[in-house]
């Protein structure tokens, strides 16, 4: 699947051919050196295909460009940060605020 995530405000969204939102990751901008990842949604027809992690990776890439870390309140993002710390510790706000 060619995932063409579009930035819409403070979210990255995937729409189907009809233009309906079928996946998104949302964050809140704090106007500081971090954002709050607070919501991830993937349509049940797409679950199990890695779309949520691809959305997270898109958010990570964008926040790296902005030199920001991510504070995870979304349960999926919290889980991914814990499950794959080697991949995400560099962007995890919780790991940096103690430094």
Q: Tens digit of pLDDT for each residue in 17-40?
A: 999 999 999 999 999 999 999 999
Tell whether domain 6-96 is in CATH 3.40.630.30. yes
Among 44, 42, 35, 60, smallest CA distance to 3 is for 42
- pTM confidence score: 0.92
Average pLDDT over residues 51-80: 97
pLDDT bucket at 97, cuts 50 / 70 / 90 = confident
On whether the CB atoms of residues 59 and 12 are closer than 8 A, the answer is yes
Query: Which residue has better confidence, 99 or 84?
Result: 84
pLDDT of residue 99: 52
Domain ranges (residues) in the chain: 6-96
Among 36, 44, 47, smallest CA distance to 72 is for 36
pLDDT bucket at 1, cuts 50 / 70 / 90 = very low
């Amino acid at each position: 699947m060619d995932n063409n995530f579009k930035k819409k405000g403070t979210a990255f969204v995937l729409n189907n051919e009809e233009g309906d939102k079928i996946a998104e990751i949302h964050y809140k901008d704090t106007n500081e050196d971090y954002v709050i990842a607070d919501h991830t949604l993937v349509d049940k027809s797409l679950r199990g295909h890695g779309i949520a992690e691809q959305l997270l990776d898109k958010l990570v890439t964008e926040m790296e460009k902005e030199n920001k870390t991510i504070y995870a309140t979304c349960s999926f993002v919290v889980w991914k940060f814990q499950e794959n710390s080697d991949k995400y510790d560099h962007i995890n706000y919780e790991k940096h605020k103690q430094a």
